[in-house]
C-alpha cells in the first residue's frame, strides 16, 4: 500500500513536470511591468476582463522558470499591501493563470507566509468547518463558507522539491480558498453551491459539521 502511494505521488509530480510550460510573452510582460520592486495589481471581479481571468483554470508552473521569483515577490507585496492586507493570494489574482499561491501558516510558530507551487489537495476530511471568508479580489463582500477541516496537500517548493502534508483548521481553510482560485472558483461560488447543502452539527458549541448524505453511504 505504501509503495503504491509513493508511486502515485511520484507519477503526479512527473505529470506536473511534463505539463508545466514556460511563461508566455504576455505573462512575462505583466510580471516585469512598471516598477518591478512594487506589488502587482490585484484584479477585481467588478471588471469583466479581470473576472474572466479569475474564472479561468490555471496551469502548472515550472519551478525553474527564471521569472518565478519576481512573480512570487510581487504577489507577496500585493498580498501584504498596507492599505488592504491579506493572509493568502493566488497568481490569478494578479492576472497570471498559474498554479502559484502564498499562504500564511497560522499553524506554525511565528505564523510565517510560505510559497507553494503546483499545490493539489489530494484528500479531504468528511468533517467540515464553517467560517467567515473574504477575498482581495471581491470588494465589500464576506460570508460563511463550509470547508473541509483537514486536507492533505501535495505541492512543490521554490526549488522544485516535492512535498505532501496534512493540514488542519483555519490554515486548511486558507489553502482551500487559494487552491479554489487556481480552478477558477471564488468563495462566493462556494457560498452559492452550499445554499441547499444539508449538514449535521457535530456540536452546538463549535462550527463543525458532517454532510448528511455521508450517513447514507
Burial class (CB in 10 A: 0-12, 13-18, 19+), 205: exposed
Q: Which helix (H) or strand (E) holds 163?
A: strand 162-168
Res 215 pLDDT > 50: no
pLDDT tens-digit series, residues 38-91? 999 999 999 999 999 999 999 999 999 999 999 999 999 999 999 999 999 999
Q: How does the average pLDDT of the chain come out, rounded? A: 91
pLDDT band at 8 (very low <50, low <70, confident <90, very high): low
- How many Å separate Cα 204 from the centre of its chain? 30
Q: From CA 63, how far away is CA 106, in angstroms rounded?
A: 25
Q: In the chain, what percentage of residues exceed pLDDT 90?
A: 81
**Spatial separation of the C-alpha atoms in residues 87 and 94, rounded to whole Å:** 15
What local confidence, expressed as pLDDT, does residue 17 receive?
A: 53
Which amino acids are annotated catalytic? 178
Exposure of 176 by Cβ count < 10 A (0-12 exposed, 13-18 middle, 19+ buried)? buried
The model's pLDDT over 108-148, given as tens digits with 9 standing for 90+, comes to 999 999 999 999 999 999 999 999 999 999 999 999 999 99
Q: Look at residue 207 in the predicted model and tell me its pLDDT.
A: 79
More confident residue, 3 or 133: 133
Query: What is the distance between the alpha carbons of residues 139 and 174, in angstroms, rounded to a whole number?
Result: 18
The CA distance from 115 to 133, in Å, is 21
Helix spans in 40-151 (H): 48-54, 68-79
Phi, psi (5° rounding) for residue 174?
-60, -45
Q: What is the pLDDT of residues 158-188, one digit of tens each?
A: 999 999 999 999 999 999 999 999 999 999 9
Report whether pLDDT(203) > 80. Answer: no
Amino acid at each position: 500500500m505504501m509503495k503504491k502511494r509513493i508511486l502515485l505521488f511520484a507519477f503526479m509530480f512527473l505529470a506536473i513536470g511534463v505539463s508545466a510550460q514556460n511563461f508566455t510573452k504576455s505573462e512575462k510582460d505583466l510580471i516585469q511591468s512598471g516598477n518591478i520592486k512594487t506589488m502587482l495589481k490585484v484584479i477585481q471581479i467588478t471588471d469583466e476582463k479581470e473576472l474572466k481571468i479569475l474564472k479561468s483554470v490555471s496551469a502548472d508552473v515550472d519551478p525553474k522558470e527564471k521569472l518565478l521569483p519576481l512573480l512570487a515577490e510581487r504577489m507577496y507585496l500585493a498580498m501584504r499591501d498596507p492599505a488592504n492586507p491579506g493572509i493568502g493570494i493566488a497568481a490569478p489574482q494578479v492576472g497570471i493563470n498559474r498554479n502559484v499561491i502564498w499562504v500564511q501558516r497560522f499553524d506554525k510558530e511565528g505564523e510565517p507566509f510560505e510559497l507553494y507551487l503546483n499545490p493539489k489537495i489530494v484528500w479531504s476530511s468528511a468533517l467540515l468547518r464553517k467560517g467567515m471568508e473574504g477575498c482581495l479580489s471581491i470588494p465589500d463582500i464576506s460570508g460563511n463558507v463550509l470547508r473541509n477541516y483537514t486536507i492533505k496537500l501535495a505541492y512543490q517548493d521554490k526549488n522544485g522539491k516535492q512535498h505532501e502534508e496534512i493540514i488542519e483548521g483555519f490554515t486548511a481553510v486558507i489553502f482551500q480558498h487559494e487552491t479554489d482560485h487556481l480552478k477558477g472558483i471564488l468563495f462566493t461560488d462556494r457560498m452559492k453551491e452550499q445554499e441547499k447543502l444539508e449538514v449535521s452539527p457535530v456540536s452546538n458549541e463549535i462550527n463543525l459539521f458532517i454532510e448528511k448524505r455521508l450517513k447514507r453511504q
